[in-house]
Amino acid sequence: MVFAEGFLDRLAAERLVLAVGSTVEGTSSDAGGRDAFWRTIPRYNAAAPHLGLILALADHDSRECVGPRLKATLPHHHANLILRLSVPMLEAWLLADRTALAGFLHVPVAALPDDPDAVEHPKREVVNIARRSTRRQIREGMAPAPGRGGLCGPLYTPTVEAFIASAWDPLRAAKRSPSLHRALRALRTATRSAT
């Protein structure tokens, strides 16, 4: 089962499950936002003994310390609930597959950061990298027009969705992203012990 913070997180979580050689059993859904995710996660935790493995994925979000929140939200964390947080957000995990993302966005590989987990705002970084694309469609779709008052262009979501579905390799990305590496390790351990 997969439960994720947002739509793109859910697609990435599904790829993670496949990457460790398992399949998504049961539902795959997303909360549609951070608040809704953290509101809902205790109910998944409570149901976890009856539902089997649940991969729950959300952004770590460096703006706040997540430790106390985790303790307050899940005082009795069930082993079936594999709660993983991308550091600081999903886009860091996407940036970590440098060759695939560079090819997909039509930018030089050198345009991508070496240490994606350390990038302050990976989503902004993805958008800024896309601005260098040789394809106009990618530049205009991924980046907002000047003065629009937003971070992403109008076609950010479907473009990233297509990248996750067609090009992103979590195993390759894990070599560059410690938080993704840890997530895959936890997921692999849990699926092995479940079988």
Partner 1 sequence: MSQRKSDPSRILRFTNLKLASWKNFKAADVRLGERTFIIGPNASGKSNLLEVFRFLHDLAADGGGLAKAVALREGMSKVRSLHATSNSAVNITVEMLSACGEKWTYALTFDTLSAKSEQVLVSSETVLKDGQVVLQRPDQHDRIDSDRLRQTAIEQVSSNKLFRHLADFFRSIRFMNAVPQLIREGQISPGGYPGADPLGRDLLQHIRAAPKGERTRRLKAIARVLTRVVPDFRDLRLEQDEQGKPHLVVGFAHWRSQAARQRESQFSDGTLRLIAMLWSLQEAAGPLLLEEPEWSLHTEIVQRLAAFIASMQALSGGRQVLISTHSDRMLADPGIAADELLLITPAPKGGSMITPAARQAIIAKAMQQGLSAAETALPMTRMHTMPLFGRPA
Residues that bind partner 1 (CB under 8 A): 6-7, 32-35, 89, 121, 123-124, 141, 144, 147-158, 161
Q: Shortest distance, CB of residue 3 to partner 1, whole angstroms?
A: 14
Return the number of the residue (30 or 53) whose C-beta is nearest partner 1. Answer: 30
- Minimum Å gap between C-beta 193 and partner 1 is 32
Nearer to partner 1, 124 or 192 (CB): 124
Q: Are 44 and 23 in contact (CB under 8 A)?
A: no
Give me the count of residues in the chain: 195
Whole-number minimum distance, CB 144 to partner 1, in Å? 5
B/e letters for 121-138, b = 16+ CB within 10 Å, e = fewer, are ebbebbbebbeebeeeeb
Nearer to partner 1, 97 or 125 (CB): 125
Q: Least distance from C-beta 125 to partner 1, angstroms?
A: 11
Measured CA to CA in angstroms, residue 148 lies from 121, 127, 128, 152 at distances of 19, 14, 15, 9
d(CA 48, CA 35): 20
